[in-house]
Structure 1
């Protein structure tokens, strides 16, 4: 089966489950894992600006998309000519379903189950001792955080943090003053690439607050990625459990 993935984390999951470059024939420019394999796969644009003509020329048997990451109108155009499967991965349970479903689609059920078991183990063995209020920032100018209906929120919660903006939805715009009640401010490495200079600017405003840069992939990449984050979570949480 020839498949095109329109989602970076799904592309990674396909290769993790054992598909080859002969089966995954198209991916977005943001599909960067695993590097040694995706480099051999045709790029069909970005997640939100697909090259429809190129996709049509590749003639895939199946296209995998995501409700949030891809543009509805573009996906609907593809649905006229191709078999398109659209996932909506918001919760941890959604993610287990996604991996299980991919395993069934490509007859990789055993590998999918192993990844799900590993993800369950990673998320349940790694927790901070005392819950802390965390403000997780994904964007600057304006500052944006995450609400309770996001995958990031659920990962934060699973490893013991309380999302400061849990009463809000999606990706709320916030002011710097809204961070006052946070025990820790997390600056994500993606989609906005927060750097030390951004951390310093916030630290100047909140000199006594813990502010850290975190690996955005460890919080926002669903699929099989969480199974590989055990060491990262342990290192992160060690900062708070000492």
Structure 2
């Protein structure tokens, strides 16, 4: 029996190790795979793109905010994994009526480590979880040594177009921007506000606009729209800035390369 609180501080009692998992969070699906749980995953979302073969081998139950609840019920899951940001409150409530539902809530690497530890306990993969955490911590320490003498760079992190939206404070993205010594121009705002790109022309011209590959797939033609406002742009891998779990093992080397190329 496992007694834990999920990251919404809800008490969960898990009497038997879950053997049938539905995961509604792309980065957590990747984490499950890296924990060695592929054979236990029975349902994922259409956005769970890593590992790539899952889309053809595992039942897709909709999107992160538009699930097919009857498909989930038919899979007879033992546990459903959600995230406060990725999934709506209504989705979580509906899933709770099917089986045990664990909800993550991620803002920092400490939160990520807690989640990995919890999955290690819930799914009897403690050694696998510890291995992933050790790799994350090793790469994080190395990155902190790399970044400590680098100058602070002002950035705007775009996540959407029409309307133009950016990542602001109280997000995991903003936490990783700070770790990279990127000063978020919109750090005084919260979550994912809409902005007027014409207004950024009045900002300091040393600002760099980071255009994420997700959730909106920014391309070079979109960068040109922003560059008309005299702002430098860089296309960045959104998974490195917003996926937690085992993806963090790869993120810090990516951040090194990004900084060296600016």
Above 0.5 in TM-score? Answer: yes
Cα distance between partner residues in 2 of 1:167 and 1:122: 29
1:196 aligns with 2:196: no
Equivalenced residue count is 237
Cα distance between partner residues in 1 of 2:246 and 2:191: 23
Structure 1 range deviating more: 73-82 or 188-197: 73-82
Cα distance between partner residues in 2 of 1:92 and 1:191: 21
Residue 176 of structure 2: aligned partner: 155
Q: Residue deviations 1:37-96, cap 9 Å, x none? A: 453111011111100001001000000001111121122022122111111112221111
What's the RMSD between the two structures over aligned residues? Answer: 1.5
Helix, strand or coil at the partner of 1:35: coil
Residue 75 of structure 1: aligned partner: 92
Residue 231 of structure 1: aligned partner: 253
Deviation at 1:239, TM superposition (A): 1.8
Helix, strand or coil at the partner of 2:245: coil
1:46 aligns with 2:63: yes
Unaligned stretches of 5+ in structure 1? Answer: none
Helix, strand or coil at the partner of 1:4: strand
Q: Residue deviations 1:146-204, cap 9 Å, x none? A: 12100100111112211111111110111114432362110111111111011112112
Unaligned stretches of 5+ in structure 2? Answer: 1-18
Deviation at 1:231, TM superposition (A): 3.3
Query: How does the TM-score come out when normalised to structure 2?
Result: 0.86
Q: Residue deviations 1:118-140, cap 9 Å, x none? A: 22333332327101111100011
Query: How does the TM-score come out when normalised to structure 1?
Result: 0.92
Taking a change above 3 Å as real, the CA distance of residues 139 and 132 of structure 1, as seen in their structure-2 partners, is: same
* Alignment counterpart, residue 159 of structure 2, candidates 105, 116, 138: 138
* Alignment counterpart, residue 122 of structure 1, candidates 122, 127, 139: 139
1:84 aligns with 2:78: no
